[in-house]
Amino acid sequence: MAVKDVWLSGTEEFEPTDEGHQEMELHESGPRLREQLGTVVSDDYVLEDDLSDDERMIVNMGPQHPSTHGVLRLQIELEGEIIRRSKPIIGYLHTGMEKTAETLTFMQGPTNVTRMDYLAPFHNELCYSLAVERLLGVEVPPRAQAIRVLLTELNRVSSHLVALATNGMDIGAISMMLYGFRDRELVLAFFEKTTGLRMNHNFIRPGGVAADLPPGWRADVADIVETIPRRLEDYDDLLKNNPIWLERTKGVGVITPEECLAYSITGPTLRAAGVAWDLRKNFPYSGIEQYEFEVPVGQNGDVYDRYQVRMAEIHESLRIVAQVLETMPKGDYRTDDRKVTPPPRQRIDESMEALIHHFKIFTEGFRVPPGEIYQAIESPRGELGCYIVSDGGGKPWRMHTRAPSFANLQALPIMMADSLVADTVATIASLDPVMGDVDR
């Protein structure tokens, strides 16, 4: 098929392969998305056969589209201006990180996973580290746990700020974009001071964290806790008094709680639909149960409710951060289990064994007992899970990440069915997918 024809029909043709002994139809026939292709949409839409093909067409949105938040491609079946069916097509950012993880030691693992969900790197590191620690049976000291909670909750703030910013930008509230990114810099500056990097920190590691908090961290965190809530009120005023923004978010991209549960959708999308499910409350980890916070819940499951849930979650996360600031325990920032933690610097000068031990930990890594484990935490996008199989060696036999964005993308065809083309960008933005997390 000539390039011109592909362009005209709006479909693409691929060579079918006999891979998997299954009939694979890789192209659409005519201007209709095949039923049951991609995500199963429970659509109550009855095909009207008297509609000619001229009134129906398939439009590709993305992968290079500014409002798809990365390289997400959507095939959309249109009838006039109404979306009938749609199908997300992913994989443009696939880099095989699960394969890479099999070649890295458990100590090097966080370097790899931190690059998956690049807006919430601390959550990836925490999830991986918790899984490895459970396999090892290592206890993490209270100060390390508090540092982890502090960093992940601040990370939730910065991630949700980006979600609000891009949500505003996609609907035309450009000022929200500038404000959101400005406030995120406050948090990222603190991360840079603590870990040395704005993103991809590799700071939370099996056994604790890489270093203690820097001098003056209290003032920085207190500044964040004091500044951001005040500004959030301004943004709330800015958006909620904007009739255009309200029109474009209320009642748009609706999903019911039943659909959310059936399609494995978690995080703010599930909570906006009215299900109070937060792994921090239901399966607490890293000592988060000792802090007081609420789980904000929406009612309608639309774009507006997801915005409100995220806004409320920023407030709740800052509430946790304020409590951590008050109750930060003293002590070690990593476990004193010598199996995982290298010996202290002064011991290396005195003892040959300590030097060898230090060298061994950083070259071949520590050995993890055989076993398999699934650890899930609440990332800003939903349930982030890490499934690790260890064969008793220094590297994982298999590391699988249950990426929240990946599962949440299955909600798009449901949210977008029978909606207008213009609502597509609002719906995608409210789902807040991170393509690095989707494709891994």
Partner 1 sequence: MTTDTESPAEIRPPPRPRPENPVLAGLIEPFGDAEWTLSNGDDVVRLPRERLADLAAAARRVGFETCADVTVVDYLRRSSGRFDVVANLLSLQHRLRLRILVAVSNDDPACPSLVSIYPGANFFEREAFDMFGIRFEGHPDLTRILMPDDWEGHPLRKDYGVGSVPVQFKESHQVS
**Tokens 């298999």 sit on residue:** 398
Three-class secondary structure of residue 275 per DSSP = coil
Q: Are 352 and 375 in contact (CB under 8 A)?
A: no
Contact yes or no for 355/101 (Cβ under 8 A) = no
Q: Which is nearer to partner 1, 329 or 371 (CB)?
A: 371
CB of 39 to partner 1, least distance (A): 6
Placement of tokens 């491609």 in the chain = 73
82-89 and 56-61: which strand pairing?
unpaired
**Of 318 and 407, which has the nearer Cβ to partner 1?**
407
Tokens of 401: 């990440």
Pattern 99-128, binding to partner 1, x per CB under 8 A?
x---x-------------------------
Q: Which residues, 364 to 403, sit near partner 1 by CB under 8 A?
A: 370-374, 376, 383, 385, 387, 389-392, 397-398, 400, 402
Which pair of tokens denotes residue 284? 């607490």
Give the contact letters, 72-101, x = binds to partner 1 (CB under 8 A), - = no. ------------------xx--x-x-xx--
Taking phi over 0 as left and psi of -120 to 50 as alpha, with beta for the rest, 19 belongs to beta
Among the listed ranges 18-26, 53-61, 301-309, 419-427, the one in contact with partner 1 (CB under 8 A) is 18-26
Please report, for the chain, how many H helices and E strands are present, in that order: 18, 8
The interaxial angle of helices 142-171 and 423-431, nearest 10 deg, is 180
Q: Determine whether 60 is exposed, middle or buried from the number of CB atoms within 10 Å of its CB (0-12, 13-18, 19+).
A: middle
Q: Does 19 bind partner 1 (CB under 8 A)?
A: yes
Residue placing its CB nearer to partner 1 in the complex, 390 or 424:
390
Type and span of the H or E element at 57: strand 56-61
How many chain residues bind partner 1 (CB under 8 A)?
55
- Site residues for partner 1, 143-172, by CB under 8 A, read none
Among 282, 290, 327, 351, binds partner 1 (CB under 8 A): 282
| φ, ψ for residue 420, nearest 5 deg | -85, 155
Q: Which is nearer to partner 1, 29 or 36 (CB)?
A: 36
Residues between 311 and 330 that touch partner 1 (CB under 8 A): none
Residue among 276, 316, 280 nearest 154 (CA)? 316
**Number of alpha carbons in the 13 Å side-chain half-sphere of residue 29:** 2
Choose, by CB under 8 A, the member of 1, 26, 178, 422 that binds partner 1: 26
d(CA 8, CA 31): 11
Selected binder of partner 1 within 186, 204, 328, 407 (CB under 8 A): 407
Cα end-to-end distance, the chain, whole Å: 32
Minimum distance, C-beta of residue 375 to partner 1, in the bound complex (Å): 9
d(CA 440, CA 403): 8
Residue 169 φ then ψ, to 5°: -60, -40
Q: Which of 3, 4, 22, 216 binds partner 1 (CB under 8 A)?
A: 22
Among 2, 3, 4, 20, binds partner 1 (CB under 8 A): 20
- Residue pair 162/182 in contact (Cβ under 8 Å)? The answer is no
Nearest residue to 205 via CA among 116, 111, 135, 298:
111
- What's the CA gap between 179 and 176, in Å, rounded? 5
Give the interface segment with partner 1, choosing from 35-43, 70-78, 205-213, 310-318 (CB under 8 A): 35-43
Applying CB under 8 A, which of residues 264, 319, 325, 357 lies at the interface with partner 1?
A: 264
- Determine the Cα–Cα distance for residues 264 and 408; give it in Å rounded to an integer: 7
Candidate segments 58-66, 274-282, 302-310, 424-432, binder of partner 1 by CB under 8 A: 274-282
Judged by CB under 8 A, does residue 275 bind partner 1? Answer: yes
Tell me which of 11, 75, 129, 410 binds partner 1, using CB under 8 A. Answer: 410
Q: Should residue 295 be labelled a site residue for partner 1 when binding is judged by CB under 8 A?
A: no
Q: Which of residues 37-56 bind partner 1 (CB under 8 A)?
A: 37-40
Q: Where in 211-250 is the site for partner 1 (CB under 8 A)?
A: none
Binding site for partner 1 (CB under 8 A): 14-15, 17, 19-22, 24, 26, 36-40, 90-91, 94, 96, 98-99, 103, 134-135, 261-265, 275, 277, 282-283, 370-374, 376, 383, 385, 387, 389-392, 397-398, 400, 402, 406-407, 409-410, 439-440
